[in-house]
């Protein structure tokens, strides 16, 4: 369930989204008294750039337009820009790209496709037999370009949720310009048209699911202002066909201080509902789960830090993110509950009888250098994507009389393994295999037999023969070993002269795994660049404990890890501060801001993408209140003191040797508010530093709503990096 919230924050890759627990423990007489919270309106009240927080305010937009008018001629005026943009766009729009597909209940495979002729995109389908061929035959389900033109709208397709088992009735999600706030409309894939008089959910940040063909479960803003402080829904209702929103019936209510509430419907492979769960995100990392019954909501016996992964063979599969000694389970374990005794216990708690004592069972326990990266299920099998020292594997689990047994799918080693769409009709699933220099291949796996069929292979987009991939370790300030990958020219001279781009994220338990990027390879590697990815703490490379090590009061460890990798690159003479550039987005954009203010002497180029930057006011801007579980609460003096030490915005000082940075954001980013980027650029300029700034109007947190905008953004980035590191 937390994957939904993480996606809210980490979707430029990039991640996705805590507050105090609602019922504090009773303090002992000698316990430290609770700190008096600072009123939010007191935090940053003297900031001269508060007006930039009005996301589409005239003054703020005029400022952004003026910045674009100054920056774009500099970067687009570079003689190399046009060539880099053309190459990026050619790769992104290439007709021979391999389309990823999903199993549909009607037997087809569906795909969403964008290219030069379909800028906003096509939702389309084909058959497996056709997909296996070199030129599949596609049938258009919905043309987003045509829809936008017909409705004079700025639609960005955000996906479709279809009702099992045949999946011909779908809830199509449309965003105005890429915002997280979406409009939802019922669509019939048989007639390929929106259903007359069908379900329509007006624009909003909302969570929803089909219950049956005539009923939806919806969490949204039902009354004006009825949202959490993070800006998400906390009231869950059922909405019947033909009803207006004010006729919906409430089934669960969280609290305003929660992150969000969302529904989760448990179904067997044939689409039968086996249970309905309300997921209450108390903080980003702590949650409660309630079984919705006719007699009320019954709390399930799950620890605060865990996430429901899937439902298979009548078992609820859960990933544990804290120790659970009462049940003999540890952080990082994958465990299951049999749904029948779990339901019986839930009903008993509502007064129907004596609990039967549902108990969790261990499915898989990773080692210290392993972590569960992803989980899915076919009709009868559980499939787990595993990271082993940041390298991928896929395990199939079978449930027998003696519990769970496992076997490994024989996929290429030393790669990233991505679990794709899984079938409810049988035990097949799609799996992707990729690496920094290896184009992605797509496999059809049979989890029952272990049979593997490579059905597609992406064409190479750059000459990878000139580079090699290596994995090293740096030692952080506390002695922790931090792994990182280096993709370098084979003939690199170890004299510090290699132009090097270092990327990292370091937050929200999001792992940075090897992956093929045709644009990065063409615009950077093929031109002689070295590319590095650091697996710093705060991420999920080694499970929840790796993430926990960088939370709140431990945040500086994340940044120390990043600096350790930077210094190790210099010590190995792979590069030097003159030739070392760094890039990161969202939480990684915060990392870039900390690097700028704490260790500017290490870098000659910094690309700061859709960043967090003003950490004293972050909980008041955009969806920031949902991330207090990651960073701490600025309203609590002791936590604010920790934040203030690394807060990039307040730590910008005059007289430092800051490199000229390139800051990017989007006006339509309603997750990490563009005010962070705006204020960073404005303060740097006020202190007398040169700064390059680009604000794309559309795009949301991805900073681009279509492939043409993506190509432009990437070309701007690589022109900047070329000027700073290669010239």
The residues assigned a catalytic role are 586, 701
Alpha-carbon distances of 465 from 136, 206, 460, 493, 722, rounded to whole Å: 30, 47, 11, 17, 21
Closest CA to 482 of 413, 567, 555, 584: 567
Alpha carbon distance 6, 11 (integer Å): 8
- Please give the structure tokens belonging to residue 391: 């390298």
Matching residue, tokens 């960005």 = 156
Contact yes or no for 619/257 (Cβ under 8 A):
no
Q: What is the CA radius of gyration of the chain?
A: 25
Phi/psi at 219 (5° precision): -115, 125
Helices (H) and strands (E) in the chain, counts: 14, 37
Closest CA to 207 of 247, 243, 239: 239
Residue 588's contacts (CB-CB under 8 Å, 6 or more residues apart) are 13, 14, 503, 504, 505, 506, 507, 609, 611
Alpha-carbon distances of 538 from 104, 386, 550, 561, rounded to whole Å: 36, 18, 5, 10
| Residue 682 exposure: Cα atoms within 13 Å on the Cβ side | 20
Contact yes or no for 429/409 (Cβ under 8 A):
no
Alpha carbon distance 309, 178 (integer Å): 27
Give the distance from CA 270 to its chain's centroid.
30
- DSSP run (H or E) holding 60: helix 58-76
């Amino acid at each position: 369930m937390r994957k939904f919230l993480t996606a809210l924050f980490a979707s430029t890759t990039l991640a996705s989204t805590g507050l105090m627990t609602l019922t504090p423990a009773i303090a002992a007489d000698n316990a430290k008294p609770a700190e008096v919270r600072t009123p939010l309106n007191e935090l940053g009240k003297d900031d001269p750039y508060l007006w930039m927080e009005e996301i589409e305010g005239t003054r703020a937009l005029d400022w952004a337009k003026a910045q674009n008018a100054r920056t774009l001629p500099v970067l687009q005026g570079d003689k190399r820009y046009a060539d880099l943009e053309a190459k990026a766009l050619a790769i992104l729009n290439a007709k021979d790209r391999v389309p990823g597909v999903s199993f549909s209940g009607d037997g087809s495979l569906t795909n969403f496709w964008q290219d030069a002729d379909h800028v906003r995109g096509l939702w389309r389908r084909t058959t497996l037999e056709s997909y296996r061929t070199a030129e599949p035959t596609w049938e258009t389900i919905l043309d987003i370009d045509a829809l936008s033109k017909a409705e004079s709208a700025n639609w960005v397709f955000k996906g479709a949720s279809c009702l099992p088992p045949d999946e011909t009735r779908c809830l199509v999600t449309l965003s105005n310009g890429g915002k997280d706030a979406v409009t939802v409309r019922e669509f019939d894939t048989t007639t390929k048209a929106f259903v007359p008089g069908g379900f329509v959910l007006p624009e909003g940040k909302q969570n929803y699911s089909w219950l049956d063909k005539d009923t939806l479960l919806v969490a949204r803003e039902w009354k004006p202002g009825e949202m959490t402080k993070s800006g998400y829904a906390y009231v869950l209702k059922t909405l019947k066909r033909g009803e207006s929103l004010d006729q919906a019936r409430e089934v669960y209510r969280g609290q305003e201080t929660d992150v969000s509430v969302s529904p989760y419907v448990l179904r067997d492979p044939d689409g039968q509902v086996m249970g309905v769960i309300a997921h209450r995100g108390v903080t980003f990392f702590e949650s409660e789960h309630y079984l919705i019954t006719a007699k009320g909501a019954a709390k399930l016996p799950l620890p605060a830090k865990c996430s429901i992964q899937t439902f298979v063979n009548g078992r609820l599969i859960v990933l544990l993110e804290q120790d659970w000694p009462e049940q003999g389970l540890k952080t990082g374990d994958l465990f299951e509950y049999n749904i029948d005794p779990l339901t019986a216990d839930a009903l008993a708690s509502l007064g129907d009888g004596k609990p039967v004592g549902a108990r969790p069972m261990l499915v898989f326990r990773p080692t210290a250098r392993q972590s569960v990266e992803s989980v899915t299920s076919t009709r009868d099998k559980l499939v787990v994507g595993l990271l082993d020292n940041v390298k991928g594997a896929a395990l199939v689990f079978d449930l027998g009389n003696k519990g769970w047994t496992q076997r490994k799918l024989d996929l290429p080693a030393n790669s990233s393994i991505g679990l794709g769409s899984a079938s409810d009709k049988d035990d097949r699933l799609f799996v992707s295999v990729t690496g920094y220099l290896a184009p992605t291949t797509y496999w059809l796996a049979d989890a029952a037999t272990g049979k593997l069929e490579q059905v597609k292979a992406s064409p190479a987009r750059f000459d990878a023969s000139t580079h090699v991939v290596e994995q090293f370790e740096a030692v952080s300030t506390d002695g922790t070993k931090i792994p990182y990958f280096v993709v370098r020219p084979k003939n690199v001279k170890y004299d510090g002269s290699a132009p090097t781009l270092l990327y990292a994220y370091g937050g929200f338990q999001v792992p940075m795994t090897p992956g093929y990027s045709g644009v990065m390879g063409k615009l950077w590697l093929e031109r002689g660049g070295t590319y590095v990815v650091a697996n710093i703490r705060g991420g999920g490379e080694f499970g929840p404990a790796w993430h926990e090590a960088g939370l709140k009061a431990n945040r500086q460890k994340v940044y120390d890890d990043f600096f350790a990798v930077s210094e190790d690159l210099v010590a190995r003479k792979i590069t030097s501060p003159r030739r070392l550039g760094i890039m990161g987005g969202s939480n990684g954009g915060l990392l870039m801001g900390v690097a700028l203010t704490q260790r500017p002497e290490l870098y000659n180029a910094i690309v700061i993408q859709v960043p967090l930057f003003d950490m004293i006011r972050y909980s008041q801007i955009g969806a920031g209140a949902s991330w207090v579980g990651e960073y701490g609460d600025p309203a609590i003096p002791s936590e604010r003191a920790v934040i203030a030490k690394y807060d990039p915005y307040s730590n910008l000082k005059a007289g430092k040797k800051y490199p000229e940075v390139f800051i990017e954001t989007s006006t339509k980013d309603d997750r990490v508010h563009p005010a962070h980027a705006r204020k960073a650029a404005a303060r740097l300029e006020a202190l007398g530093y040169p700064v390059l700034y680009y604000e794309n109007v559309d795009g949301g947190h991805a900073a681009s709503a279509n492939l043409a905008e993506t190509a432009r953004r990437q070309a701007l980035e690589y022109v900047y990096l070329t000027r700073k590191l290669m010239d």
